[in-house]
Structure 1
């Protein structure tokens, strides 16, 4: 019998609970530069996507607000003329229980955005299509890699 498992039962960790209480678009804009300026000729779009995350505690116990900020820009490959710009801030309100304090920060900035991302992808696809462009189906965002990059950037800043 293993140590600390009397009667064959291991001590139980409390079950992590994560519940999405609400989702919302906090801010969104879409500029169709092609329609405004009447760009003519061959168009070969080059799309860039920037992602930022924000998390904050809400006044209610165990509730957190996560905001995903996406800046999507499409430029013409041939002359670098901007075709469209889209900015989207998409939020979620989460109830999170039984996550150890030292694991809460990564949990909020990795797991919560993973839950929200499919909705962001759909909004971006619909808005670009409704804006007169082929629907932009964004590739998955690696929120773990983003988190690690931000931790490394903060460590460099503190050393400088």
Structure 2
């Protein structure tokens, strides 16, 4: 069995890309209230701060800040993914999935990146907020409802028309 190496940084800042198994699915936005509820429960059970987030139909991007004494983001993803999947109809049926009590809704792994500095953080936040435009879900960042972009605008950190003439955010973000 592979031993995936994950960064273990107590109090770290991390960028994640988490993807549904079916990349043509719209399950995350169709079930956005379910996702938000599971996310909130995980956050209450294992506190973390959400710096930026964007939920798209088949995947999501997020930056988390963990507590100073904590590096265990995998347990948080397990709580979110299992909570979201519980009660949903299985997407695939196989012995492997059944043995692991999985429903085939999520890809088993996810992309994580330890944020290195302020410039790296800013680049990842920009990528998160611009992602609905990148995937042609909307033509303006402000038009996507499932994004922390709106919170950034409310707080005066970004202009409401931010990203209007941007075509792409440079970098490797796990897609």
Same fold by TM-score, threshold 0.5 exceeded? no
Q: TM-score, normalised by structure 1?
A: 0.28
* Higher relative contact order, chain-length normalized (CA < 8 Å, sep 6+): 2
Give TM-score, length-normalised by structure 2.
Answer: 0.27
Q: If each structure's strand is expressed as a fraction of its own residues, which one has the higher value?
A: 1
